[in-house]
Structure 1
């Protein structure tokens, strides 16, 4: 069973399953995040949908680069969650299945290539409070606990 965060699915509404790969990208006590400007500013773990025929790891590298401008290394799967949400950019009600990885940000090649995204570093403590969805906050909180246990 995959843990669900956020809204309960509405009875009778059709949801399209969308699987995506997302990354916790730590450096010191900070995380590299993306802020999506539209439909309203939303702080997120970098990542997104896995294209047909694409592996989760390939999608993770592509999405992180598109949303942050950074190359990453050594991705390691941490877990999975799902959430039911409306995706206005696709005019779609989705069951998002989010595969969460931890990876090392290696090098910034430039600004994000995906329109409307801004990369930013935020202290892990703040990220655990400010990320825009409960699943992202959950995994940021787990990361923060691992930092404190060191």
Structure 2
């Protein structure tokens, strides 16, 4: 598994498994979430006791208001990361899935999350985390 980010000596990194979706529309553009923190693939950290597909389905619904229809594991990558939100260091272990999804009848989206569609090469330049940029190039 490829790892990204800087590892600082003496720092404890909490492992944080997550699942992320590579969702393309018919024109080949990739779903990207835009927030005040940056741009990210749909998905995120798993809740305690949650498996990757359940977590991915939950995150897709919360972030973009889509129902997950299918998911195929494409690969994994890790990111060493300081979280301003949690005030912790994480080793994010991402499982990346090629997915299909459809809009939900009445989506309830997270505040500060907007769905944008980018060409894959645009996404690799603008995603905020290196392991997600890598995943687009390696797994899409």
Length-normalised TM-score, structure 2: 0.90
**Contact kept? 1:80, 1:97, Cα under 8 Å:** yes
- Say yes or no: does 1:86 pair with 2:82: yes
Runs of at least 5 residues in structure 1 that lack an aligned partner in the other structure: 145-150
The runs of at least 4 aligned residues of structure 1 exceeding 6 Å deviation read: none
Q: 2:39 aligns with which of 27, 43, 65?
A: 43
**Contact kept? 1:71, 1:109, Cα under 8 Å:** no
Q: Secondary structure at the match of 2:92?
A: strand
Q: Secondary structure at the match of 2:85?
A: coil
How far residue 3 of structure 1 moved from its aligned partner, in angstroms, is 1.1
How many Å separate the matches in 1 of 2:101 and 2:23? 6
How many Å separate the matches in 1 of 2:81 and 2:11? 11
In the superposition, relative to structure 1, how do residues 45 and 11 fare at CA in structure 2: closer, same or farther (>3 Å)?
same
**Which 10-residue stretch deviates more, 112-121 or 85-94?**
112-121
Runs of at least 5 residues in structure 2 that lack an aligned partner in the other structure: none
In the superposition, relative to structure 1, how do residues 109 and 136 fare at CA in structure 2: closer, same or farther (>3 Å)?
farther
Q: Secondary structure at the match of 2:80?
A: strand
**Contact kept? 1:36, 1:118, Cα under 8 Å:** yes
Q: 1:54 aligns with which of 50, 55, 61?
A: 50
How many Å separate the matches in 2 of 1:141 and 1:112? 30
Q: Which residue of 2 aligns with 1:9?
A: 7
Q: 1:77 aligns with which of 73, 77, 83?
A: 73
